[in-house]
Structure 1
Amino acid sequence: MTVEDFLRPGEWLSKKTGPLYAVLSRRIEKGIEQGLLLPGHSLPAEREIAELAELSRVTVRKAIQELVKKGVVEQRQGSGSFVREPASKVEQSLSHLTSFTEDMLARGLKTSSNWLEREIRHPSPDEILTLGLSASGHVACLHRLREANGQPMALERAVLPVDILPDPEEVKSSLYDILERNGNRPVRAVQKISAVNLEAPQAELLGVTPGIAGLSIQRISYLQSGRAIEYTKSLYRGDTYDFVAEMSFPR
């Protein structure tokens, strides 16, 4: 079956469920899943899709916008709409406290960081409360774009008291390697995970379309003594990361 035949009106359209643009969006996505539209290839022009499916160009445009939001399609200025190359997914367990570097190395992936900020500064009110600091204290701030095999994966901002990390420039790759060497590696953490839509500045750094789904993660890490020594806020690409939790039933 050709793409043209696939998009012509038929049972998929006559038995529509929901708005027409959503029905068309699902139809195009199904065509991608079946290999009629391959990664890197362009979609037919909006006008052509509208004529084939006997729908308005407004409906076609909204359908493509839905696919862009989902990260299935990307639009290139002056060139049209293209099927995105599928991003390789990474699963991270929520049962163990590990660093990004450790997670990627365990999967045979090479990590790198694009540093956006690495400095000593005064803590924010939120950081003072979370880390139990005084207003006159200082924190080490690490803000970076985390990559695996050259692919942007997450934006990470970690804040630690200066007595735990006196020199943020010392961190070249794994923060936890430095903390372990200094006897300050955390032993437990509390994480809060929320679904978000990535805004334009973050999406540009992560190499995705603005509005695409992402994961916002806030983590507070503790020493054995119970002291909070790390406050991290991260934004992960929703198309590259899955978090997996193992649970047991009470007996």
Structure 2
Amino acid sequence: MNKTQAIYADIAQKLTEQIEDGSFESGDKLPSERELCAQFGVNHHVIRFALARLIHLGLIFPHQGKGFFVSERIREISYPLTKRTRFTENLQKQDVHADGKLLGWQIRQPNQKECQTLQLRSSDQVYDLHIIRYASGQPISLTQTILAARRVPGLETFLTDFHSLYQLLDDHFNIKPLRTKSVLQAVISCRQDTEWLGIPENVPILEIESIANDPVASQPFEISRSRLRGDMCRCLIHF
């Protein structure tokens, strides 16, 4: 970490502490960039790096032309595991704004496990998507999704304005995946979790690996591996 990075990291930490101790409450406007520059004795570039860090952590959000505001405080999200669990629908029922962002994707040949699970040949292809999901502007989960490419030809043409994978599949391919199996386990957060979810390393998070079928084709269609923040999520399993 160079000197500039150390300075803006320290400023970001001090602002984080002020948010967490209630000095700034949800909906409060932060001081302007000019005021923060004067307060910390640094230039605009350093302050912008610090603010970008807080945005990434979901602690603040920008309002164009008005400044930066403190995000809604963390609330616990119920995540029911059913055949038709839908992230966006589930959060909307809890009066929580849901959103998703595509971090990256590729189309590739499946590995041996994916071939077995999705009933594919080694010469077939899969879409490999990496998605971060947000609840009220705060990052809540990282998901890798593997889809059988033959059922969603040209999927990449619909990824430019990505918000909800299952809504996209329903709108453009008439696919409503049904979960057939989920495996849950507690794991320890890694550097990637820290970077994207804004949590410390080596704290418990919930990992869920699921398989979903395409009910029209009556065969496995999707493998998903989600890593959810333990401080925001609780899973509900209905019998």
Cα gap change, 1:201 to 1:185, in 2 (>3 Å)? same
2:95 to 97, 102, 108: 108
| CA distance in 2 between partners of 1:87 and 1:212 (Å) | 17
Which string of whole-angstrom CA distances, capped at 9 and with x for unpartnered residues, describes residues 26-59 of structure 1? xxxxxxxxxxxx9438xxxxxxxxxxxxxxxxxx
| CA distance in 2 between partners of 1:188 and 1:102 (Å) | 15
| CA distance in 1 between partners of 2:238 and 2:221 (Å) | 26
Give the aligned partner of residue 179 of structure 1: 169
Structural mapping, 1:48-87, within 5 Å: 87=74
1:216 to 197, 207, 217: 207
Give the aligned partner of residue 42 of structure 2: none
1:196 to 183, 187, 190: 187
Structural mapping, 1:156-171, within 5 Å: 156-166=143-153, 167-171=155-159
Q: TM-score, normalised by structure 2?
A: 0.64
Moved over 4 A (4+): none
| CA distance in 1 between partners of 2:21 and 2:149 (Å) | 47
1:227 pairs with 2:207 = no
Paired residues of 1:39 and 1:86 also in contact (CA < 8 A): no
Cα gap change, 1:177 to 1:114, in 2 (>3 Å)? closer
Structure 1 alignment gaps of length 5 or more: 1-37, 42-84
Q: Structure 1 residue 96: deviation in Å?
A: 4.5
1:123 pairs with 2:100 = no
Give me the identity figure in percent. 27
| CA distance in 2 between partners of 1:144 and 1:94 (Å) | 19
| CA distance in 1 between partners of 2:157 and 2:96 (Å) | 24
Q: TM-score, normalised by structure 1?
A: 0.61
Residue aligned with 2:150, SS: coil
Paired residues of 1:97 and 1:189 also in contact (CA < 8 A): no
| CA distance in 1 between partners of 2:88 and 2:146 (Å) | 17
Structure 2 alignment gaps of length 5 or more: 1-18, 23-71
Residue aligned with 1:163, SS: helix
RMSD: 2.3
Give the aligned partner of residue 141 of structure 2: 154
Give the aligned partner of residue 40 of structure 1: 21
- Greater CA radius of gyration, 1 or 2? 1
Which string of whole-angstrom CA distances, capped at 9 and with x for unpartnered residues, describes residues 100-139 of structure 1? 1121222222223332212212222221121111111111
| CA distance in 2 between partners of 1:39 and 1:93 (Å) | 29
